[in-house]
Structure 1
Amino acid sequence: MAALEPWLIAICVLGGSVFLYLILKVCLTSWAANEYVRIKNSLISSCDIDAFVGPKNPVSPLKVVLAHKFQLGSRQPSQDAIPLELVDSLHVPGLKVSRKAGSPKGDNDGKVMLLDEFLAEHSKSDKKPIVIATIRMGFGHHRIAYSAASWAIKNGHPTIFHDLLNIHSAEADLIKETDELYSKFSRYASELGGPIEKLWGSAMLSGNADALRIASLTAAHLQPLLLSYPKDVLMITSHQLTALTASAAGFTNVHNLVVDNHPQWFLTVPNTMNLCQGPVNYQSFLKMGVKPSELACAGHWCPADMVDNINEDCQRRIQRAQARVQNATKKPLRILIPVGGAGAQRKFIVSFIKVLSPYVKKGKIQLFLNAGDHVHMKQAFLEVLDQCGLEFDTVNDTAGVFAFQKKMLDPNNEPAKGITLFSFEEYFPAVATTDILCRVTDLLSCKPSEMAFYCVPKLHIRRVGDHEADSACRSSELGDGTVEARELEDAREFIDLFLDTPDLITSMNQSIMDNNKNGIYSGCKNAVTMAAAIKKNN
Structure 2
Amino acid sequence: MERSKVIFGNKMSDSAYRKAVKGKEKFIKKYGSDMDRVYHLSAAPAPAIGDILGVQELKISGKTGVTFNDRSLVIGNIRMGFGHYRISMAIASAARSMGYDPYWFDLCSFSDTTCGKIIAGQNQLYSLGSRISQKSALFNKLVWEPLNSEGFRQLTYNCSDQKTAELMTPVFRDLPKDIPYVATHVWPSQAAVHAGLTHVVNAVPDNWPMALHLSEGAVHTVQTPSSYLGYRALRGMDKHRLLKPMPKDSIVYTGHYIDHELVSNIEYDCAKRIERVRNGKAVRWMMSVGGAGAQKDIFVSLIRRMLPEIKKGKAVLFINVGDHKKVWEQLRTELPHIAEYVTEHIDDLTETARFAADAIDGEVSGIHVFCHSDIFAAVYSTNLLMRCSDVLITKPSELAFYPIPKLMIKRVGGHEAWGAVRAAEVGDGTYECTSTSEICGMMKLIQHNGDIIEKMCGNIMTAKNAGIYDGAYKVVRLAVLGNK
What's 1:31 paired with? Answer: none
Cα distance in 2 between the residues matched to 1:363 and 1:198: 44
Q: What secondary structure does 2:7 align onto?
A: helix
| Ranges in structure 2 where 5+ consecutive residues have no aligned partner | 235-244
User: How many residues were matched structurally?
Assistant: 465
Maintained 8 Å contact 1:254/1:273: yes
Give the deviation of 1:197 after TM superposition. Answer: 5.0
Q: What secondary structure does 2:76 align onto?
A: strand
What's 2:327 paired with? Answer: 377
Give the counterpart letter for 1:203 in structure 2.
L
Write out per-residue CA displacement over residues 157-186 of structure 1, whole angstroms, 9 at most, x where no aligned residue.
Answer: 122111112224222112111111111111
Maintained 8 Å contact 1:77/1:220: no
RMSD: 2.0
Give the deviation of 1:347 after TM superposition. Answer: 2.1
Q: Given the alignment, which residue of 325, 331, 343 partners 2:293?
A: 343
Maintained 8 Å contact 1:278/1:297: yes
Residues 1:145 and 2:111 aligned together: no
Cα distance in 1 between the residues matched to 2:396 and 2:294: 13
Structure 1 segments of 4 or more deviating over 6 A? none
What's 2:46 paired with? Answer: 89
What's 1:408 paired with? Answer: 359
Maintained 8 Å contact 1:350/1:380: no
What's 2:211 paired with? Answer: 265
Residues 1:169 and 2:134 aligned together: no
Cα distance in 1 between the residues matched to 2:4 and 2:93: 32
| Ranges in structure 1 where 5+ consecutive residues have no aligned partner | 1-45, 104-112, 325-330
Cα distance in 1 between the residues matched to 2:264 and 2:142: 39
TM-score by length of 1: 0.82
Q: What secondary structure does 1:372 align onto?
A: coil
Q: What secondary structure does 2:232 align onto?
A: helix
Flag the 1:414–1:383 CA change in 2: closer, same or farther, 3 A: farther
Maintained 8 Å contact 2:219/2:251: yes
Q: Given the alignment, which residue of 219, 236, 239 partners 2:185?
A: 239
Cα distance in 1 between the residues matched to 2:407 and 2:12: 38
Q: State, as a whole percentage, how many aligned pairs show the same letter.
A: 30
Cα distance in 1 between the residues matched to 2:399 and 2:369: 20
Maintained 8 Å contact 1:408/1:414: yes
What's 1:213 paired with? Answer: 159
Give the counterpart letter for 1:414 in structure 2.
E
Residues 1:78 and 2:29 aligned together: no
The structure that has the greater radius of gyration is 1
Maintained 8 Å contact 2:201/2:479: yes
Residues 1:192 and 2:136 aligned together: yes
Question: Which stretch shifts more, 298-307 or 202-211?
Answer: 202-211
Give the counterpart letter for 1:496 in structure 2.
K
Cα distance in 1 between the residues matched to 2:247 and 2:395: 32
Residues 1:253 and 2:199 aligned together: yes
Maintained 8 Å contact 2:223/2:256: yes
Maintained 8 Å contact 1:354/1:384: no
Give the deviation of 1:102 after TM superposition. Answer: 4.1
Q: Given the alignment, which residue of 309, 312, 326 partners 2:268?
A: 312
Give the deviation of 1:214 after TM superposition. Answer: 1.3
1:2-151 aligned at under 5 Å gives the runs 46=1, 48-55=3-10, 58=13, 60-61=15-16, 63-65=19-21, 67-73=23-29, 75-76=32-33, 78-91=35-48, 92-93=50-51, 94-102=54-62, 114-115=65-66, 118-119=67-68, 122=69, 127-151=70-94
Cα distance in 1 between the residues matched to 2:19 and 2:168: 21
Q: What secondary structure does 1:468 align onto?
A: helix
TM-score by length of 2: 0.91
Write out per-residue CA displacement over residues 473-532 of structure 1, whole angstroms, 9 at most, x where no aligned residue.
Answer: 011000000001111111122122212222211111111101011110110111112222
Flag the 1:300–1:373 CA change in 2: closer, same or farther, 3 A: same
Write out per-residue CA displacement over residues 236-276 of structure 1, whole angstroms, 9 at most, x where no aligned residue.
Answer: 01010110101111211000100010001111210100000
Cα distance in 2 between the residues matched to 1:424 and 1:350: 20
Write out per-residue CA displacement over residues 126-172 of structure 1, whole angstroms, 9 at most, x where no aligned residue.
Answer: x5310011012221101100110011111111221111122242221
Cα distance in 1 between the residues matched to 2:23 and 2:206: 24
Q: Given the alignment, which residue of 442, 445, 459 partners 1:511?
A: 459
Flag the 1:336–1:267 CA change in 2: closer, same or farther, 3 A: same
Cα distance in 1 between the residues matched to 2:19 and 2:454: 50
Give the counterpart letter for 1:377 in structure 2.
V
